Amino acid sequence: MTTLSEGPARVAAGTIARRRLALWLRDAASTPTALLALAGLPVLAAAWAVLSPPVMFSKAMTQDLLFNLSGAWHVYSGHVAHVDFHDASGRLSFLLTALGFHLLGPVPFAFLVNVAIMGAALFVAAFLAAIRRLPLLPAATFVVLTTLLALMPANVGDRPEQYTFAMSYNRYGWSAYSILALILFVPPHEQRDRTWIDIAVAGGLLAAMFYLKITYFAAGLATVGFAVLFHPHIGRHWRAWLVVGALMVLNALAPHNQAYLADILAWTTSGAVRKAAILHFNNFVAAIGQYGPYLAAVAVGAGMWWSGRATFRLPLTLVFLLVMSLLLLSQNSQAAGMPSAIVVLFILYDRLRTAFASLDNRDVAPWLLTLLLFPLFAVGGYAASIAGYQAYARDRPGVYVVEHTNLGGLAVPAGPRGTFLSFSNNFDYPSRAGDAPAQPLYQLSDYEYVVVLMEAADLLRGLPPGGIALLDSVNPLPFMLGVEPARGVNLWSTWSAPKRPASEFLGGVRYVLVPKFATSPQWADDMMRLYRGYLEDHFHRAAETRCWILLLRSDPDSPRSESRF
C-alpha cells in the first residue's frame, strides 16, 4: 500500500515542480525579495571567495596588475591622471584602487577594494534592469552573470585557471555594456512607467564606461542611438535619452577631460588602434564554435520575422548587438570572448516568451529553459574560475609569496630562478608598424618577473631619495618602495604608446634602472636607443647586478623626492 500511495505523490510533486519552474520562466513579476535572495547569495559567496584568501594570487600577466597599482599610487601621491602620468585608459580604476590604499594602506589587496566596489555597483545596476524585464530565473541568471564577470580573477576568453587581475577594466566594461544593452533592447513588463530608473542606470553606466575605457563608452552611445531609432520603449522617451547622450558627450568634451582626450588621441596616432582586419577575421573564425548560439539566435529571429511572429526589429537588433560586441573585442588584447553577446539570448528569450504567450507552459517552457542553459553555462564557468582561485590562493601549493616592500602579500607560481619559463605566441599588444616578422620571444615567468623586481628594490633600498625611471613596460618600483613617482611618464610603455621627450620622461628622475631581463626586450632596447644621448649627458653607471644596471644622475642638483627608500 505504501508503494502504491508513493506513486501518485511523486507525480503530484513532479507536477508542482514543473509548474513552479514554468512560472519562474514565464512570469515577469520578479519580486525584489526573491530576486535578491536568488541572485544575491551566489554573488556574496563569489565575493567572499575572491576577497577572503590570505594572499593575492596572480598566475598570469602580473605586470598588468602592477600597472593598476602603479597608476593608483600616482593618484594616491597627489598626481592627476593624464596630466602627471599618461595612459589611454580612464582614471576610474586607478581612483578605486587609490581609495583602497586609503582604507587598507599601500598593499596589493587595495586592488580588491576596486573589485568589490565595481562588483557591488554592477550588481545594483543589473538588479534594477532585470527585475522589471525578466522572470525570476532568467533575471537572477543575468544579475549573477554580469556581477561574476566583474569579480572573476581571469580574463575574458582565457582559460579559467589563468588567474589574473589584469585588464579588469575590460571585465567591468563588458559587464556595464551588457546591462545597458538589456535596458535598451528588452522592454520593461510593468504597468507603471518608471523610465527614470532606466535613464539613471544607463547614465551611470555610460559615465563609468567613459572613465574605464573609451571604446565601451563609444559603443554605449551608438547603442543608445540605435535603440532610440528602433525600440518603442526607448523612442517614446527620445527627448530624455537624447539629453542623457548630450550630457555624456558634453562631459567628455569638457575642459576637465581634455587631457584624457589628448592621451586617447596620442595613443590612437601612435598605433594603439587594432586595425588588422585579417587578424580579427581569423580570430573570429578560430572561435566560431563559441559564437554558434548567438548566430543561431539571429537565424531564429530572422525566422520569426519571416513567419510574422516578430518585426524586422528583432533580427536587426540581434545583428547590431553581435557587431558591436565584435568591434569591442577587436580593440581588446584577447582573441575571443564576447560577454555582451549573451544578451542576444535574453532578447530572444523575452521575444519567444511574449510571442508564444498563448501556448501552454508544457509547450514553451522546455524551449525557454534550453535557451537559458547557455547563460547558465557561462555562470558556471565564471563560478568555477572563482572557486579555483579561492582554493589555490588559500592552500598555496607551489606558490612564492612576496614578504617585504609594499608588494607584500602578492603570490605567484614558484619556479627555478634564472630560466625563461614562459613562452607566449598569442596576440598581445601591437608591435611596431612595418617590422619584419620576428622570431617569438621567450618571456619571463611571473615568478621571475617578481624576483627581478625584488632585486631592483633591494638595490635601491638605503639610497638617498629621488625619482625612479625603469626602462620597461611598467614601473612599479615607486609603489613597492613607498616613494613619490616621477611625473611625465607613460604608465604602460610600449611601441603603441607616444614617445615622451627625454626632458619630460627623465627630467624629474634621479635613478634609471636598465633591466637585463625585460618583459619586452626589444622595447627596452629601443628605449635605450631613444634616450641614449640624454642618459650619456646626465647619468653615469653607479651599480650593476645580475639583473639590473643602475644609472645615477650626474647633475649636482638632481631631482629629489620627499619620501625615502
146-160, 363-377, 533-547: the lowest-pLDDT one: 363-377
Q: Average pLDDT for residues 428-457, to the nearest whole number?
A: 66
Amino acid at 431: S
When the pLDDT of each residue in the chain is averaged and rounded to a whole number, the result is 85
pLDDT in tens, 232-254: 999 999 999 999 999 999 999 99
Q: Average pLDDT for residues 182-189, to the nearest whole number?
A: 93
Residue 9 has pLDDT above 70, yes or no: no
180-189, 200-209, 322-331: the lowest-pLDDT one: 322-331
The single-letter DSSP state of residue 501 is: P
Task: Read off the pLDDT band of 280 (50, 70, 90).
Answer: low
**Cβ-based neighbours of 53, under 8 Å, separated by 6 or more:** 389, 390, 393, 394
pLDDT at 122: 97
Q: Average pLDDT for residues 31-43, to the nearest whole number?
A: 92
**Percent of the chain whose pLDDT exceeds 90:** 50
pLDDT at 56: 93
pTM: 0.89
**Among positive and negative, which fits the CA dihedral 197, 200, 201, 206?**
positive
Task: Read off the pLDDT band of 118 (50, 70, 90).
Answer: very high
Check if the beta carbon of residue 191 is closer than 8 Å to that of residue 132: no
pLDDT at 28: 52
State the helix-helix crossing angle for 32-51 and 110-130, rounded to 10 degrees.
Answer: 160
Q: Higher confidence at residue 439 or residue 92? A: 92
Residue 7 has pLDDT above 70, yes or no: no
Rounded to whole angstroms, how far apart are CA atoms 551 and 554? 9
Rounded to whole angstroms, how far apart are CA atoms 5 and 16? 17
pLDDT in tens, 316-326: 999 999 999 88
pLDDT at 445: 83
Q: Average pLDDT for residues 260-276, to the nearest whole number?
A: 80
| Residue for grid cell 541568471 | 141
pLDDT at 431: 43
